[in-house]
Amino acid sequence: MARLARRDLAAVLLAAAAASLPFAAATAAEAPTRITVVTHGQAADPYWSVVKNGVDAGAKVQGANVEYRSPDTFDMVQMSQLIDAAVASKPDGLVVSIPDGDALGPSVKRAADAGIPVIVIDSGGAKLTRELGGLLYLGQSEYEAGVAAGERAAKLGVKKAACLNQEVGNTSLDDRCAGFAKGLGAEVPVVAGSIDPTDMKGRVSAYLRSNPDTEFLIACGVTAAEPALAAAEELELVGKVKIGTFDLSPGVLQAIVDGKMEWGIDAQQFLMGYMPIVMLDLLHRYRLQPLADYPTGPGFVTKADAASVIDLAKQGIR
C-alpha cells in the first residue's frame, strides 16, 4: 500500500508539472531575455561577421531579444558611449569586448555595479574581466596564441619575421605580435597597417622591398593576411616568404590548401557570439550561473585539414 501511495503521489506531481509547463512557456514568451552585445568590431568585418552569426544563432535558439552594436571604426570613445547607453537601457545581460582596458574599463564596471551580468569576449582577458566585475571571459589568450605561432615558425627555421598589425593599439592584436616574438625568440618588427586592403597591401609591399631578408610574415587577422598574400604574389615571393595568420576566411583557407600560407589560427569566434547568449539567457530565466572562463582557441588549421573547413567558413561559422 505504501508503494502504491508513493506511485499515486508521483503521478500527481508529474501531472502537476506537465500542467505547469504551458504556463511557464507562456511566461517566458511574454518576457524574453534582453541582451546587448557591444564589440569593437563591425559586423561586416570578416572576423566579426562570424561573431555576429553566432550571436544571431544563439538568440534564435534561446528566443532572446539581442541587439548587436559596434562603433563605425576602431573608436574607443564611441564604444564606451555605446556601453554606457546599453547600461542605461538596463538589459538582462551585456556582452562586451575590451580591446582597451583603460578606455572601456570604467563603462564596463558601471554595468557590473548596476547589477547587469557581463560576459567579456575576444579581448580583455580573464584577469581584467574579474577586476571589472564580469562573470567570465570567453575567447582565447592572444599572447599565448602568439607564442604558439612563434614556436611553430621557429621550427621552420625562421630567423627574420615581421608582424602585420592592422589595428595598432588594439591590445589583442598587440599581444599577438608580442607573443609571436616571444615564441620565435627574436625581435619581430611590427608593420602598422589598416583595415583598408589596398593600403595594407601597399605597406606590406614597401616593407618587403626594404627588408628583402624577411622570411616570415605573421598577420594579425584576415584583413592583413589577404593583402599580404597579394603583395607576396605581386613581388613573386610566394614560397620564399612564408605567411601565417590569425583567424580564418575562405580565401585564407584556400591559400593554405594551395600551399601559399602555412596555417591559420582559429579562435572559433562563432562560439564567442553564441555561448554568451545561451549563458545569459539561462542565467536570467533559471538562475543558472556560469562559473568558469571558456577558452575557444587557439587551434591551428593547416593544409591537412583546411579543405574540410572551407565550406564552414563560407557559411560564416569558421
* Residues 124-174: tens digit of each pLDDT: 999 999 999 999 999 999 999 999 999 999 999 999 999 999 989 888 899
Cα–Cα distance list, 283 to 28, 86, 216, 279 (Å): 13, 19, 46, 6
Phi, psi angles (nearest 5°) of residue 142: -65, -35
Strand boundaries in the chain, DSSP class E? 34-38, 65-69, 93-96, 118-121, 136-139, 161-165, 190-192, 216-219, 242-246, 263-266, 294-295, 299-301
DSSP string, 213-232: T--EEEESSHHHHHHHHHHH
Pairing state of beta strands 65-69 and 93-96? unpaired
pLDDT band at 45 (very low <50, low <70, confident <90, very high): confident
The whole-model pTM stands at 0.81
Provide the residue type at 97 as one letter: S
Per-residue pLDDT for 287 more than 90? yes
Q: Give the number of other Cβ atoms within 10 Å of residue 115's Cβ.
A: 8
Tell whether the model's pLDDT for residue 282 goes beyond 80: yes
Which residues are 192's β-sheet partners?
165
pLDDT band for 3, please (50, 70, 90 cuts). very low
Q: How confident is the model at residue 44 (pLDDT cuts 50, 70, 90)?
A: confident
Residues whose CB is less than 8 angstroms from the CB of residue 6 and which lie 6 or more positions away in sequence, other chains included: none
Residue pair 236/208 in contact (Cβ under 8 Å)? The answer is no
C-alpha to C-alpha distance for 188 and 236, rounded to whole angstroms: 23
Tell me the mean pLDDT in the region 218-229: 96
* Stronger pLDDT, 5 or 101, i.e. the higher one: 101
Region 203-229 average pLDDT: 97
Q: For residue 238, give the nearest of 255, 262, 268, 260 by alpha carbon.
A: 260
Query: In whole angstroms, what is the distance from residue 231 CA to residue 228 CA?
Result: 5
Domain 142-266+303-314 CATH superfamily: Response regulator (3.40.50.2300)
Closest among 290, 278, 272, 271 to 64, alpha carbons compared: 278
pLDDT at residue 165, as a whole number: 97
Q: Determine what percent of the chain is predicted with pLDDT higher than 90.
A: 83
Distances from the Cα of 100 to the Cα of 65, 75, 153, 173, 180, angstroms: 27, 10, 28, 11, 20
Q: How far apart are the first and last CA of the chain?
A: 60
Q: Kindly state the DSSP code that residue 241 receives in the 8-state scheme.
A: B
Identify whether the C-beta of residue 117 lies closer than 8 Å to the C-beta of residue 283.
yes
Task: Evaluate whether the domain defined by 31-140+268-287 bears CATH number 3.40.50.1860.
Answer: no
- 3-class secondary-structure state, position 35: strand
Query: Which part of the chain is CATH 3.40.50.2300?
Result: 31-140+268-287, 142-266+303-314
Under a CB-based contact definition with an 8 Å cutoff, are residues 162 and 129 in contact? Answer: no
pLDDT tens-digit series, residues 59-103: 999 999 999 999 988 899 999 999 999 999 999 999 999 999 999
